Structure 1
Amino acid sequence: MDVRTERKRLLEAEDEDENLSGLLLEQDAYLSKVRNKNLYLATFASVLGPLSFGFVLGYSSPVIPQLTHNSDPRLLLDNDQASWFGSIVTVGAAVGGLLGGWMVEKIGRKLSLMFCSLPFVFGFTIIIAAQNVWMLYVGRLVTGLASGVTSLVVPLYISEMAHERVRGTLGSCVQLMVVLGIMGAYLAGLFIDWRWLAICCSVPPSLMMVCMCFMPETPRFLLSQGKRREAEEALRFLRGLDAPIQLECARIEDASEEQGSRFQIADLKDPGVYKPLVIGFMLMVFQQMTGINAIMFYAQNIFEQAHFKVNTSDLASVIVGVIQVIFTGVAVLIMDRAGRKVLLIISGVSMAISTTAFGIYFYLISRQHIPTSSSHAMLAASEAAHTDLAWLALASMAVFITGFALGWGPVPWLIMSEIFPIKVRGFASAVCVLTNWSMAFVVTKTFQYMMNFLTSAGTFWMFACMCVANVIFTIAFIPETKGKTLEQIEATFRGTSGP
């Protein structure tokens, strides 16, 4: 009896292997006929949203120094007002995440993208016309709302359009465009004042509105709405005339029918729903707890302590921005080769090492603190010691930014767009975006309290512990999604074989 059972099990395993091999051959044959030109065009149109989002994030850095030394008393910011001017974007973005989750289910991915260009332009228009500090706040809040919608919709739009061979590369372009927007705001802020910078920041969302008019809705959303003919037309546009798009259309349709049509709270008991939701939630928490905001906060001081000839904080920010762009670009190029999980592990280890080194740097600096009554000779000795340690801070910053850009910057947003079943994609993505922006606000506003309570060294060592925790979490719980269709990824969480 045992022999028969074992033989049956082996035969079933062989059949499963044959089915998998056949499926892979079928996918390779299909993808060999796919042409990506229009897919790239649609991706370009959609990532003008993250570019706009990057301009929003980068806008405050060059503008706050101008507004804190403003000749117009109605628009003069004190330190507390400047803090709110920078951080209120995260409040709007958290609300935008919830709004975006509702919009993508009700009106679709394409129309959500087109509509979110309006608050971008409207918000910057309010800033351009600002006559008091409250108008500045409202403008920032509205552009933050648009940023929250964009950070949810664009990854979904790209992941649902792209096929498995290029989905990682195209999905990583979201973060690349964000850091390009940040760097663009930093660079433009070196040469133009805050009103003209706001005008420049209005250009990308305006272009997005125009370009998206000519792009299709995602085939998966159309099929979820029962629009088979429109879905085939969208796939034909995205894959080229020679691709047998009926195969892909049927596969998506089968997966949608298997899941059911509408999300209900009872679905949270389904491992195919709650497992990816927990993973997405934790990815967003860990991304903000890596210490990225702290590193950016200290960038100017680190450059100054290293005695770089930096005349303004903006130039230091530009240098940091360039590093981010370069290594995010590297992540885009290798994402579909290296895989998501490997990049997250390498990134987490790099950041754990660099934040530990930052803690050592601040600990050694604090041990060399000289009282105010010290002699000039002792002060000079302390300054020399600070200079000798500056290399440690600079090296730590470079390693941290490189590591973050390679993994924990782009990958959480990419994985968020890949792991959720289509019927819960709007709800689950909204939870993740709300979590990310809420954590960003909490970390930003409590950072100074942490510095006072834990000291600078203790704060960075806490971030190092979080980076170690995110490496352990990645190894234990995050599946590799490289080279898999969205339907195969969903099947992984359900514990079944994918279509």
Structure 2
Amino acid sequence: MGIKSTEPATIPLSSPLLSTNNVENDEGTSSVPTILILTTLVAVFGSYVFGSAVGYSSPSQSGIMNDLNLGVAQYAIFGSILTIGAMIGAIASGRIADYTGRRVAMGFSQLFCILGWIAIAFSKVAWWLYIGRLLVGCGIGLLSYVVPVYVAEITPKNLRGAFTALHQLMICLGMSLTYLIGAYLNWRIVALIGTIPCLIQLLSLPFIPDSPRWLAKIGNMKESDSALQRLRGKNVDVYQEATEIKEYTEALQQQTESSIIGLFQIQYMKALTVGVGLMILQQFGGINGIVFYANSIFISAGLSESIGTIAMVAVKIPMTTLGVLLMDRSGRRPLLLVSAVGTCLGCFLAAISFFLQDLHKWKEASPILALVGVLVYVGSYSLGIGAIPWVIMSEIFPINVKGSAGSFVTLINWLCSWIVSYGFNFLMSWSSSGTFIIFSIICGFTVLFVAKLVPETKGCTLEEIQASLNSYSTKR
């Protein structure tokens, strides 16, 4: 289900696209402009903030509960209110990013995060904790949409997958480093440390260009061309790409800006089905339940929680990195299929472990089987399903509906995340093996969904992807 590219198959050796600042040469190696790398790094500092916010509640739990005399129920509110805030941020994310621009939206989100971290750090009562956590949630809800969209819009087609997947890698790094820092430092200090990446991004945003496609959307073609030239390198001929962006944007201006209700039109249904379907399957495959409650899973399986947690981090970061490296080589669909098969297998192995435990058989082997199952699941998830739905979400919606569609898809992701996080412990108390069987079946369905509906977007411009997925097309 690939998308046919209208680009020429080869580029003459004399083409200015093969200059020292080019993106890809005839040997397939890359020489990426420094400004593009730095701009992407500034953007994905927001992803690091996302990861640190998600990872904060686990290592800080005992310290916060002891210092503020919180019960389990009160701390559960603190942990879960992040997702509520993220849903609020997700609802507003598309409109804010469309009206103010991608850079301003990232800066706006960091103001929420900084205020939230400060409120948490200086909390004396539970209510300030909740307010701070809610503010951080609003910030990361906005970041979870705008970062992958911005990165997708500034990168060339042959690097877009890997660069957009850096969003997931930085989330992973943020979570892992916050786990590590939180194990040794007081929770208030960890919260103050959380403001550092926020400030780095906030202070760096004025020095990076805005999205050329967003600038074209608001009619500022001169600045759009200037931003594109800056991102590709001063010696690169950007005429073809700039013309394509201009013509496609002008054609889309004939389409009205759609609200969320307006998304449910026939021309957007395929893109919406792919975007929403991937987000639902990503979350209902069980990732947040498994990651948030990994310690209790390992304890239930008869393992040391420290060994399990260290093993998870040791698998998660390398596999996420591998996914980034393979994104633009293997393509989105193959990585998604392999990832979905791996998560299905991992959940099945964990289910067998708990089933054997219930039968009181293979008592020595079942904990190892549970550990292997969880590690296979986490590693496979990190390879593809963790990042690729966000990559594809940033690619498939035309710019006239990207704000509404992005808000809706991001909201669905966070809503499903809350459902899984909230319901996981109830499912585990019902049946540990049954819980993982359910997750395994959903992961198996993900394989079918990807094989039947998800297009291959590798090597295509955003305009080509969007024209192919939506029922109307533009004449170039």
TM-score computed with the length of structure 2 as normaliser = 0.91
Residue 335 in structure 1 maps to residue 327 in structure 2: yes
Quote the residue 1:429 is aligned against: 406
1:363 correspondence with 2:355: yes
Residues 271 and 493 of structure 1 are in contact (CA less than 8 Å); yes or no, is this contact kept in structure 2?
A: no
Counterparts of 1:41-440 in structure 2, within 5 Å, are 41-68=38-65, 70=66, 72=67, 75-260=68-253, 262-264=256-258, 268=263, 271-301=266-296, 303-304=298-299, 313=305, 316-368=308-360, 385-440=362-417
Deviations 1:386-424 (A, max 9, x none): 332222111111110110000110111111001110111
CA distance 1:298–1:464, shift in 2 (3 Å)? same
Secondary structure of the 1:213 match is helix
Question: How far did 1:20 drift?
Answer: 4.3
Aligned letter for 2:60? V
2:35 maps to a residue whose letter is: N
1:305 Cα deviation (Å)? Answer: 6.7
Structure 2 SS opposite 1:130: coil
Answering whether residue 18 of structure 2 is matched by residue 32 of structure 1, we say yes
Q: Secondary structure at the match of 2:185?
A: coil
Taking the aligned partners of 1:86 and 1:355, their CA distance within structure 2 comes to 25
What amino acid is the match of 2:287? I
Q: CA deviation at 1:318?
A: 4.2
Distance in 2 (CA, whole Å) between partners of 1:268 and 1:414 is: 20
Match of 1:447 among 405, 414, 424: 424
SS at match of 2:236: coil
Between 1:227-236 and 1:25-34, the stretch displaced more is: 25-34
Output the amino acid matched with 1:394.
Answer: L
Asked if 1:487 is matched to 2:450, the reply is: no
CA contact (8 A) 1:305 1:387 kept: no
Shifted more, 270-279 versus 100-109: the winner is 270-279
What is the root-mean-square deviation in Å for CA atoms of aligned residues?
2.3
| Partners of 1:497 and 1:123 in 2: CA distance | 44
Question: Structure 2 vs 1, CA of residues 350 and 130 (structure 1 numbering), >3 Å: closer, same or farther?
Answer: same
CA drift of 1:358 comes to 1.2
Question: Whole-Å Cα distance in 1 between the matches of residues 366 and 252 of structure 2?
Answer: 58
Query: Radius of gyration: which is bigger?
Result: 1
- Residue 162 and residue 146 in structure 1: after superposition, are their counterparts in 2 closer, same or farther (change >3 A)? same
SS class of match (2:70): coil
Q: Which runs of 5+ in 1 are unaligned?
A: 1-16, 369-381
Question: Contact 2:16 / 2:235 at 8 angstroms: preserved in 1?
Answer: no
* SS at structure 1 position matched to 2:97: helix
Say if 1:31 and 1:356 are closer, same or farther in 2 by CA, change over 3 A.
Answer: farther
> How does 1:5-20 map onto structure 2 within 5 Å?
20=6
Query: How far apart, in 2, do the equivalents of 1:249 and 1:295 lie?
Result: 44
Cα contact 1:273–1:421 (8 A) shared by 2: no
- 1:212 CA drift (Å): 1.0
Equivalent residue in structure 2 for 1:468, among 431, 434, 444: 444
Q: Report the Cα offset of residue 152 of structure 1.
A: 0.4
Question: Using a 3 Å threshold, how does the CA distance of structure 1 residues 27 and 95 change in structure 2: closer, same or farther?
Answer: farther
Q: Which runs of 5+ in 2 are unaligned?
A: 23-31
Deviation at 1:44, TM superposition (A): 0.4
Once residues 269 and 135 of structure 1 are traced to their aligned partners in structure 2, the CA distance between those partners, rounded to angstroms, is 40
Paired AA for residue 46 in structure 1: A
